[in-house]
Amino acid sequence: MAPSPLMIPRKRVANEPNVQPRSSPSLTIPILATSILLVAVATLHWARRWLLSGCAIESLIILYGSSTGSRIFHTIPLYALLATLNLVYAVSATSWLLYGLFAATCYPSILLTCLFQFTFVADFARKSLRRFLRQLHFTRDKIALFNLPALEIDTEVNGLFVLRGVTISLSSLTIVAHGIELGKPEMTFGNLGEEVGDTDDDSVFLGDTPLLRAATAGSKGFDRPKLRESLTGVDWMKDSSAKAGFESVKTLSPDDMQAEKMYLDTLTDIRTTSAVYQSRQQVLKRSKTGEGLHPDDDKSMRAAICAELQDVPSIMHPPKRSVKVTTLQNLSKPGVRRFMHRLPLLLRLLLSPLSYFHPVNIGSINIAGSGMWLTALLQQEVFKHYANNNAELRRLARRISAYFADANFCLEVADIEGLGQVPISTDFDIVSYLHFADIMAYRTVTQSATMAQVVRLGGADCTIAIPSFLLPHHEHILPSRPTGEAEAKQAEEVEHADGLPKTIQAERELEKLKKDETNIKLSVHGSLPASFDQSLLNFIAALVKATKIIEMEKQADEVVEEAEVPMSPPAQDDPVVSTPRTDSGFKSFMKNTKQGLKDGSTREAIKEFARDVQQQTSHGMKKVVVGGIINDRWIAKMVGKVAANLEKAQGDIGYSGEIPIALEPYRIRGESATKLLP
């Protein structure tokens, strides 16, 4: 076995300087400085004042840290750091107010410097804190908390938020959350209602399933115990006060070695028992025998894992207790809330630099939906009752349902960059920018472990503008309540608007004024080119044809409804005026009307006409359907042509619109106290 190069002593080359090893740090300078300080304090008044301010102590501590190689701000030269510190003290010493502020800042800095530079101080602090804060788990310079109570969201939205662990680092001042789990009814399409579960023998859509039953947990008469059970799969989670919830935080051993081992074991357990980890293992297991999955492709793996998560509860590891958001909000004293309410400028001064200097970077966000839910949405929003009376629509519905059956769909956005701007002046809106480098959509069939990328865009960007008066404690700048005078003035602007675009804009402003609403402006643009899977193009072609048939069905229903409107019979002296037409339905109508006038049964004549129109419309609809079958190839050709052009196009395509926000809830939450700094 050949010796390692590191084990072979290197021969000294001629004329090579004799480099001596670096000596260990010396305590000569710190000891000499301490002696000089003691002599100066004993004989000079200004030295005592220097010592009491804390500047002398901090300077000595920095010198000792430099001698041991653990000095703070090691990138700054030692004497430059000491000179800057003492220069700040010299300026502060000219005023008793500045002297007091300097001392109040210097002594906490001394404590933090000792914790950072000296190991024995950090060990003593950890042992002392473990003795008084038994709920915390200290390991080196970190504080770890486990078995935290769940946070039950009961404000504007409803849901459950769980953190399985939190680690706080004292040296880097960072907080790391472990095992985040979040569930909301909106994520499970809880507003689908009970119609989702209806089943008929002739129905071509999927019927009642456990997932759809869970989705309707909060759709009718919100029941919080039922919500928790639907999100967690257990029924033993109970409401708790803040004090009782935090008393259940897990206590670990105070011994350093044992505490670190237990800390690492706990983190490993959180990682391996998480839903994402277990879903990843299932995907890797299926990828060995299936097709379409690429374990080395991070984007495909994320989509497959996200689809696998559809079969597990939103909250897999619910704690025994939960604390409501409103309970935590009520912990603050009324005086503190009133103080913050009267100084909204402080909130903007805090948010403005934080938002600007803290851009958000996210690796990827995956949003998955079950094909069963998407099928139910199509049934509720598109097909409705029209498929029951039309064989062609039933055929198309079965074709569309087959595309969704046993499949999960995942939308993935990658490399997200976000930046927000909160203005200090309320004359400007809060603006948020989002950029997505890559957008993909996947179709995954779990049983066969197959996956296909159905859509991919070159990227997207989004701009959101939010009015500043929607911030907390800013109800004093809300628009005034709508009055009759204001509505009349806006109506006058509609009448005198210059041109059609201005007229439409003025009408929209009048509508917002009547509804007492404001708007959040949203602008979304997708970057071309875009690629599409052939299966998606076939689905789009079928959906386009189905919507055209449904549109004709709606027109037929409108004709029948207009024909069935009750009409008063004409007087005996009124002449019946008619216009000759060749339509057979119209001839039947005239014949029945004349007979009805003689018999006094005009209403029956109108009903007979409606039946004739419906029958004629049905025959016409059959012709339309036949024509549609013939034009299937034309529809597919047009869809393919549009997709081919999008695959080569350059530029952006998008939408700009507004999200209405009712102002009345903000007026109700507003307080009447005056503002000191608006």
pLDDT exceeds 80 at position 83: yes
pLDDT in tens, 504-537: 989 988 988 888 999 999 999 999 999 998 888 8
For the segment 483-488, the average pLDDT, to the nearest whole number, is: 88
Q: Which residue has the higher pLDDT, 336 or 351?
A: 351
Q: Is the confidence at residue 142, as pLDDT, over 90?
A: no
The predicted pLDDT at position 422 comes to 93
**Residue 157 neighbours by CB under 8 Å, 6+ apart:** 184, 186
Question: How much is the pLDDT for 428?
Answer: 92
pLDDT of residue 170 exceeding 50, the answer is yes
pLDDT of residue 18: 43
Lowest mean pLDDT, pick from 90-94, 107-111, 217-221, 317-321: 217-221
Q: What is the structure's pLDDT at 13?
A: 38
Question: What does the block give as tokens for 330?
Answer: 């009520």
pLDDT of residue 247: 61
Sign, CA dihedral 370-373-378-381, equals negative
**Backbone torsion region of residue 200, taken as left when φ is above 0, otherwise alpha when ψ lies between -120 and 50, otherwise beta:** beta
Cα dihedral across residues 562, 563, 569, 572: positive or negative: positive
- C-alpha pair distances (Å), 196 with each of 230, 232, 384, 393, 432: 17, 22, 11, 19, 37
Span 253-288, pLDDT tens digits: 445 677 778 888 888 999 998 888 888 888 887 777
Q: What is the mean pLDDT of the chain?
A: 76
Q: What is the pTM of this model?
A: 0.61
Question: Across residues 610-619, what is the average pLDDT?
Answer: 56
**C-beta of residue 174 within 8 angstroms of C-beta of residue 301:** no
- The percentage of the chain sitting over the pLDDT mark of 70, rounded to a whole number, equals 70
Confidence at residue 607, expressed as pLDDT on a 0 to 100 scale: 59
Q: Is the per-residue pLDDT at 95 higher than 60?
A: yes
Pairing assessment for the beta strands 238-239 and 321-324 based on DSSP bridges = parallel
Three-state SS at 622: helix
- Distance between CA atoms of 337 and 318, rounded to whole angstroms? 32
Confidence of residue 639 (pLDDT cuts 50, 70, 90): confident
Confidence at residue 90, expressed as pLDDT on a 0 to 100 scale: 92
Is the pLDDT assigned to residue 442 strictly greater than 60? yes
Helices (H), 368-515: 371-378, 391-404, 484-495, 500-515
Q: Give 532-577 pLDDT, tens digit per residue.
A: 988 888 888 888 888 888 777 777 666 656 655 555 554 444 444 4
Question: What pLDDT does 16 receive?
Answer: 41
pLDDT, greater one: 149 or 208:
149
Q: What mean pLDDT do residues 83-112 have?
A: 91
Q: State the pLDDT confidence band at 88, using cuts at 50, 70 and 90.
A: very high
